[in-house]
Amino acid sequence: MKRVLLVLALLTGCGPPTTPPMVERTGNDGRTCRVFNDIGGNLLQYRVFRAELAETCDVVKLGECNSACTILMTLPNACLLRGRRFGFHASTLNGAGNEALGAHYRAGILQRFNEDWSRSADIQRVTAEEAVRLDPQLQLCPE
């Protein structure tokens, strides 16, 4: 069974299971969600989490966010908290994981990921403001 799970993890471009991201729900109906201090983790889990946020949150406010968490940036209902940093790096599974991450990036972020960030395990961080300059479809959260 362990071998089957390892093969499945390799095929889906994810690592070992991780703890769930930190999410704070606010507002009267709890449909404003804030993801913060997130170090990333299992890409497959983040794809599921991304779909859940798209369905259950009117607004997703992203704070410090690294690795697999960065796929949340391109949610249509996401905004980036000003001054916060977002970290990108190569997938631990190289080609398959990098392709899966890149599928969620656009514009200058995708370009930088393909040309630079996907080649190193070292986290490369950009601020929310820099991210919006790289991908003008991203939004900063209102004050």
Distances 20 to 32, 38, 134 between C-alpha atoms, Å: 18, 9, 28
pLDDT tens for each residue of 96-143: 788 888 899 999 999 999 999 988 888 999 999 999 999 999 999 997
State the pTM of this model: 0.80
**Minimal CA–CA distance to 105: which of 114, 116, 96, 92?**
114
Q: For residues 84 and 63, is the Cβ–Cβ distance under 8 A?
A: yes
CA-to-CA dists, residue 80 to 43, 50, 55, 131, angstroms = 20, 15, 18, 9
What pLDDT, in 10s, does the model give residues 51-101? 999 999 999 999 989 898 899 999 999 999 999 999 999 887 656 788 888
